[in-house]
Structures are given as structure tokens and as C-alpha cells.
Amino acid sequence: MTAESTTLPSLNTLSTEDYEFLCQLVYEHSRISLGSDKLALVSSRVAKRLRRLKIGSYREYCNWLKTAAGQEELGELVDVMSTNHTNFFREERHFEWLQETLLPAWRDQHAEGAVFRAWSSACSSGEEPYTLAIVLAEFFGINGQWTIDASDISTRVLARAQQAVYDDERVKPVPPELLRRYFQRGVGQWEGQCRVKDALRQHLAFHHLNLFQSDYPFTHRFHFIFCRNVMIYFDRPTQETLIGKLTERLEPGGHLVVGHSESLSGIRHPLRQLQATIYQKSGGRE
């Protein structure tokens, strides 16, 4: 849609009515709960779409979203409303626990040749699943039997994750030895950037995924799931629904890890808590 008016919207022109409509629409399509105090955030993020589409007002945008022609825009709206903060080796203790505790125990309990399957369920621009890949490659070997599925609701950050190219500043948390082993330094027009090597990337599969959709793009279950810093954007009923869906995708004895700012306290779930942010599904060997 291209509106006749191209006046850029100011951040104080989003009415309460339109704000509530946008919040409800985002909730229906992503289960992200924006609450009543995010008007400035919603205004600024939606303004990006208005400028790109050359729509002159929030009201015009909302009216368009109510039409059949505006339905394709819903994905873009959810995209701009998604928060995608991440970095390599974020919440590093999780990776240390994985390497020191979970992986040795898993190897002891499984036959040679078994495949370790992990899922980064909100992978953003890729730093989390590539960090996970580095840890698995260090433990099992770059040619070992392990796979990672990585998913996100945002097509924008997924494209960046699949490109696997990062500025030098972004890869600073990666230890120098691991940086040399798993990244290529850019030259020429790519100077100042690094790309994840193909040998590591081949273990990963990326998916555009709404965690609440009925069918997932994979049928297998996982030994390990990252779902970090996701639940903080959902209300309690949505959190319970999410944990239930993730538990279904875990192998018996598999582990779910949430963010350090999150907890399953007060949420009905069947998992056993091992540490503050680490949970295990019953059915596997201790």
C-alpha cells in the first residue's frame, strides 16, 4: 500500500485506541504481551513501517491492517515489535554447564554414533546457535554426530543468522583460539567482518517459526533446548502453553534452559529443576 500522504508520523500521534488495537494484533499473532506502558516503544517501532510504506498516520496504518489487503503486513508488524538482543557466549555459565556436565553425561549414556540434537528456539541473529555449535564442535568434533535447529519469529534476524557474517566488534566475546578455528576473517570489501566457517554452519538448520503455531518444521525431539529471554515477553497463561509445547519436543531425560532473568516458578509444568535456570524432562537416566 502507498498512501497519498507521505508526512512522517510523530511519536506522540498514536492514539490510545490505535495503540490497544496494535497491541491486541501483536498478541494474537505472536503472543507477545506489550502491556499498557509501551506506547512510546510501539510508536517508534511502528513508525519505521510507516516511513517505509509512506503511510501518513498510525490511524491509516491500523485501518489498512483491518483489510484483506493488509493481512500480509502482519508478519512485518510482529517483526518490528520483536526484541532481538543477543551476543556470543551470552550468559556464559550455561555453555560451561553444557560442556562440563551435560555433554559428558549424555555421551556416557548413549551408544557410539548417536546424534545429539539441540534447538535454539529464539535464535535471533544467530549468535546463540553458533556459540552452541562451537561448544558441540569442541566436544564432539567438527565432524561429529550433532545437529542444531535454530528458529525465530523474525524473518529479518533469521536472514542475518543464515548469512553468518558479523562485525569484529560482535565476535569479541569469542576466545581468540575459537575465533581462528571457526571463523574466517574478511578481506577486501569484507574487512572488519568475520564469517562462520562452512564446516560449522553445515550442522545448523534455520526455520522461520512462531513458537505457538500448531505444527513445527521438524518432527524429531531434542536432547537440549535453549529458550532464553523469551518468556519475559509473555503473560502467565502463554508461558505455561509455551513450556508445555517445549516439553513435548524434548526427549525423555532432555534438558530445557531458560534465561537468567526467567523462572518457571508459579508455572505448571512437568519438568524437574536442576539449577536456577536448568530443567530436565523425566524418563531419562539421571
Bridge partner list, 279 = 256, 273
Grid coordinates representing 33?
504481551
- Count of CB atoms situated within 10 Å of the CB of 40: 11
From residue 153, alpha-carbon distances to 59, 93, 125, 193 in Å are: 26, 26, 11, 26
Q: Report which of 282, 271, 269, 261 is spatially closest to residue 239, judged by C-alpha positions.
A: 269
From residue 219, alpha-carbon distances to 36, 104, 117, 216, 251 in Å are: 38, 26, 12, 7, 12
Q: List phi, psi (to 5°) of 57.
A: -155, 160
Q: Which sequence positions are flagged as catalytic?
A: 45, 152
Q: List phi, psi (to 5°) of 254.
A: -75, 165
| Residue 116 three-state SS | strand
